[in-house]
Structure formats: structure tokens, C-alpha cells
Structure 1
Amino acid sequence: MKYGAILRACRDRIGMSQEQLAERLHRSRSAISKLENDQQELDVRTLTQWAEITGAREVVVAFICGIDGLSILQSLIPMIGG
């Protein structure tokens, strides 16, 4: 599953930089970039921490329920600008 754009949308929605998120997740900025560009596999623990930090728990629920990425992005994008 492609999840990078969704992860980035969650981060962008709260105005957090890759560096800030990396610090909170105890990862490098490079690792965050790789996740957001689908160059590294996402593990469940990182997904749940990402969702907790960005306040996007609905994303984890959507992933678990098998909702497609486009539907998730459509629900996040209006929130980014607001």
C-alpha cells in the first residue's frame, strides 16, 4: 500500500516539519523522508505513533479498515488549509 502521501498530509495538516516529527519519533529526518516517499516500509508502531503525534488517529482506523488512500487524503486535504 502506498501511504507516503497520507503520512505527509497528516504532518502538513498540523504544520510540523520533517525534522520536528523525526525528533518526536526518535528517527532521522532522512527516515521520515523515506517513509513519506514510499522508499521505506512502515511498521505498525511507527504508524500509530505518527497518528498520535499528528492527531490523525482516524488514519490508523482507515488503514485497518482497508479504506483506500485517496479517500483518506480527501478527508485530510480540506483540513490542511484550514
Structure 2
Amino acid sequence: RHEQELDAALHAAVRAHGAVDVRREAVEGQARAALLDASATADLLVVGARRRTGHTGLQLGRVNHAVLHHAACPVAVVPRA
């Protein structure tokens, strides 16, 4: 089920930017560890972030904070539209 949700979430972006190689992988375990492991073989790690009402800028959680400081590749933080 998670792989289907992932495919559905990425479908439009993959279709619009076919020249970009996107590797989709659903893994079990802690998000922090999974993302840091993935960063070892990635050219770019893309993570999302929510804007919270009443706050200026993005409020990053523990996972995004760890990824920004410890990833082995560049990280793009994309705010939710």
C-alpha cells in the first residue's frame, strides 16, 4: 500500500520531468536512519516541510534537522504548497 501511495504522490512530477532519474523506495524503520542511509548513494535528497501558521519560515522537525546536518549528499527542503 505504501509503495502505491508513493507512486501516486510522485506521478505528476515524474511525468513532468522525465529527464530526472527518481528512485522510489519504501523502507521500514526510523525515517532518520532510512534517509541518511539513502543519502550515501544519492545525488540529491529531497525532503518536505510544513509551514506552520503563526511562525515565520519553515519549522523543521528532528528528522529534517538530522538530515540537513548529517546527509552524505546535498539536501533540498521543499515546503508544502
TM-score using structure 2 length: 0.25
Higher relative strand content: 2
- Higher relative contact order, structure no. (Cα contacts within 8 Å, ≥ 6 residues apart): 1
Higher relative helix content: 1
TM-score using structure 1 length: 0.25
Greater CA radius of gyration, 1 or 2? 2
